[in-house]
Amino acid sequence: QSALTQPASVSGSPGQSITISCIGTSSDVGGYNSVSWYQQYSGKAPKLMIYEVSNRPSGVSNRFSGSKSGNTASLTISGLQAEDEADYYCSSYRSGSTVVFGGGTKLTVL
């Protein structure tokens, strides 16, 4: 079961916007509106940032937004802040009643 494809790392300066991509197939990302994004600090549990492609849970900053086009989902963080420096993971429902994660992207705030 291959993982979704994410860039290993992205970086940006404070105040800028960055976008993290998550590439799947028609059996997961492209076939369902069940893409989620998680933020994880080192040694901590993941935190849900986006669910169902573009929905934010209560309490998550509106600087975080999600979208999808075809087999590619994206997470955009606008107005980058130092506290955004973390690892980010996408996940999706995959046909066959399973869940698949991306390999993770390390965000560095310069």
Partner 1 sequence: EVQLVESGGALVQPGGSLRLSCAASGLSFSSYWMNWVRQAPGKGLEWVASIKQDGSEKNYVDSVKGRFAISRDNAKNSLYLQMNDLRAEDTAVYYCASFRAVAGIFWGQGTLVTVSS
Residues that bind partner 1 (CB under 8 A): 1, 3, 32, 34, 36, 38, 40, 44-48, 51-52, 57, 89, 91-93, 96-104
Q: How near is the Cβ of 32 to partner 1 at its closest, in Å?
A: 8
Cα angle: 82, vertex 86, 92; to 5 degrees: 135
Nearer to partner 1, 1 or 69 (CB): 1
Q: How near is the Cβ of 15 to partner 1 at its closest, in Å?
A: 28
Report residue 103 as tokens. 């390999």
Nearer to partner 1, 16 or 98 (CB): 98
Q: Is 26 helix (H, G, I), strand (E, B) or coil?
A: coil
Q: Which residues of 71-97 are buried (b: 16+ CB within 10 A; e: fewer)?
A: bbbbbebeebeeebebbbbbbbbbeee
Nearer to partner 1, 3 or 19 (CB): 3
